[in-house]
Amino acid sequence: MTDVLVVGAGPTGLTLACDLARRGMDVRVIDGRDAPHAESRGKTLHPRSLEILADLGVDREVLARGAAHQVFRKYFDGVPVEDTDPFAPGTRPGHRPGARFDGAVFAAQWRIEEVLRRRLEGLGTAVEFGARLAGLGQDEDGVRAVLADGRELRAGYAVGCDGGHSTVRRELGVPFEGHSAGAEAMICGDVEAPGLSRDVWHQWFTADGAVLMWPVPGTASFQIQTTPEPGPDGEALPPSLEAFQRQFDRHARVPGIRLRGASWLSSWRVNVRMARRFRVGRVFLAGDAAHVHPIAGGLGMNTGIQDAFNLGWKLALAVGGRCGQVLLDSYEQERGPVAAWTLKITDERMEHVMAAVRTPGTGTEAALTDEVPAGYRWSPLAQGTGTGTGRSVPGDPAPDIPLPGGTWLSEALVGGGFTLLGTGPGTGPALAAVAAAHGGAVRPLAVGAALGAAAEAAVREAFGVTGDALVLVRPDHHVAVVAQGRDPEPVLRWLGALRPSP
């Protein structure tokens, strides 16, 4: 029997599968498509997602296939009016001062999936394409999945990462609550546009529509997004190369550019929906299967990747019999509020940007927001675990601070396990006690001895501690415990609370 069955091989499912496989889990990934797609789709990776990909060991490959800077060039009635770089380092969104990843990266979704599939294959698991889920059931011993070809699969747990039309969610009977627009808001696709400059993201606006052309890094294609055309019956015409050309001519007004090679055609309408539950017994929902929202701000793929990273270590502990229901329940308790916030803010920002682009000089950067939730301070896992006076307290993402020698704190946290940081010479016995009690699950790190006095000072400042102190960081790089002093009891108590009840 497989430890975990992952349904869906998009960024969410692949991130989860990589995280589980590197922990030694027997993971199986199925996808109903016959083969990998080559469509640009989601394209924005925020700094937090880049940290996750770095932990999985694929950040350099992703960066090599993307663009770290993207200039937005806005036009109104065909006339260029402004260039901006709203995702530049030191700006929004998700800016974390001094962090290793200090800006977004643009890369085609198929490229990101390609990198993650290769990483997963290196861990001994290949995606099973052409394996469409038809039915799902569970009992106290595990999950039973039935494929469209009649095959049956057994797993200890299953995770639906199969998108907004999730079969897993439907089989669970979980309502997908919210609303959907009645008409398409946009048609999109991948096209070639010989002669059009590729050094900017072109955004042409007019009083009655828009066309956006994003140059897909490493290809000859542009991702095109444009206003749908009404047909003779008033209904929107389906996307096509001819429709893209007509809208390009109408809104861009650049003579001599002929679009060609349309390789992806899609319609998009506003959906703001969230699953009533993210967990039913042994089955979980993540990414678009759990929540869908407007594209404003480029949060969709990022939210799914972060769902997966929150869930992976918890499932691994459950498979190993090292945690109880409290930890599994914390997945929804932590990610549910983030999803609800994302739905609310993207819906608001979508309305804002649709109004703002009617003003010359305003483009899609109007959708961006700095209002990113600061970790999981509300989580039951963050309660009663001590507090620091610095920037980071229990529930927050661990600060990614630069250390002497050109390294970063996040590099000391990679590997999928807990990290116990000790500052001050008196924490040695506490580090040893925790490591002995929890085997290889906790990596002790005497910061001063391992990284030097300057690094120890930086860690103290970041976590708001002085002298001897202990900081336990979760496998997903969120702070679990901040304890002033050399007593290991707060850390042992927190870890002990995760264990199954007798």
Range 348-385 burial, b when 16+ CB lie within 10 A, else e? ebbeebbebbeeeebbbbbbbbeebeebbeebebbeeb
Average pLDDT across the chain, whole number: 89
User: Mapping DSSP to helix (H, G, I), strand (E, B) and coil, where does residue 261 land?
Assistant: strand
> Using DSSP, how many helices (H) and how many strands (E) does the chain show?
12, 26
Please determine, for residue 151, whether its predicted confidence score (pLDDT) is greater than 80: yes
Residue percentage of the chain with pLDDT more than 70? 88
CATH of the domain at 194: 3.30.70.2450
Q: Which of the four pLDDT bands, split at 50, 70 and 90, describes residue 187? A: very high
Please determine, for residue 352, whether its predicted confidence score (pLDDT) is greater than 80: no
> Do 9 and 157 fall into the same domain?
yes
> Do 155 and 264 fall into the same domain?
no
pLDDT at residue 70, rounded to an integer: 87
Does residue 82 lie in a domain region?
Answer: no
Please determine, for residue 79, whether its predicted confidence score (pLDDT) is greater than 50: yes
pLDDT at residue 393, rounded to an integer: 87
Q: What is the rounded CA–CA span in Å between residue 401 and residue 410? A: 8
Does residue 152 lie in a domain region?
Answer: yes
pLDDT at residue 208, rounded to an integer: 86
109-148 pLDDT tens trace: 999 999 999 999 999 999 999 999 999 999 999 999 999 9
pLDDT at residue 390, rounded to an integer: 53
Average pLDDT value for residue range 159-183: 91
Q: Which of 210, 245, 268 is the last residue of a domain?
A: 268
Q: Which of the four pLDDT bands, split at 50, 70 and 90, describes residue 475? A: very high
pLDDT at residue 268, rounded to an integer: 80
DSSP 380-393: GGGTTS---SSS--
pLDDT at residue 351, rounded to an integer: 56
Does residue 278 lie in a domain region?
Answer: yes
User: Mapping DSSP to helix (H, G, I), strand (E, B) and coil, where does residue 89 land?
Assistant: coil
Residue percentage of the chain with pLDDT more than 90? 69
Q: Which phi and psi angles does 283 have, rounded to 5°?
A: -120, 135
Please determine, for residue 93, whether its predicted confidence score (pLDDT) is greater than 50: no
Tell me the residue range of the domain where 463 lies: 380-497
* 38 vs 96, residue with greater confidence: 38
pLDDT at residue 126, rounded to an integer: 98
CATH of the domain at 54: 3.50.50.60
Residue 457, by phi and psi: left (phi above 0), alpha (psi -120 to 50) or beta? Answer: alpha
Please determine, for residue 364, whether its predicted confidence score (pLDDT) is greater than 60: no
Helices (H), 25-107: 47-55, 59-64
Query: Strands, DSSP E only, in 220-292?
Result: 221-226, 260-268, 271-275, 279-280, 283-285, 291-292
Domain count, the chain: 3
Sheet containing 442-446: give its strands across.
Answer: 442-446, 418-423, 469-473, 479-484
Q: Which of 242, 268, 294 is the last residue of a domain?
A: 268
291-339 pLDDT tens trace: 997 665 556 789 999 999 999 999 999 999 999 899 999 999 999 999 8
Residue 197, by phi and psi: left (phi above 0), alpha (psi -120 to 50) or beta? Answer: beta
Does residue 458 lie in a domain region?
Answer: yes
> Do 337 and 420 fall into the same domain?
no
pLDDT at residue 365, rounded to an integer: 52
* 350 vs 13, residue with greater confidence: 13
Average pLDDT value for residue range 495-500: 90
From 3-17, 58-72, 292-306, the region with the lowest mean pLDDT: 292-306
202-243 pLDDT tens trace: 999 998 889 999 999 999 999 999 989 888 887 888 899 999
Q: Which of 319, 334, 367 is the last residue of a domain?
A: 367
Please determine, for residue 106, whether its predicted confidence score (pLDDT) is greater than 60: yes
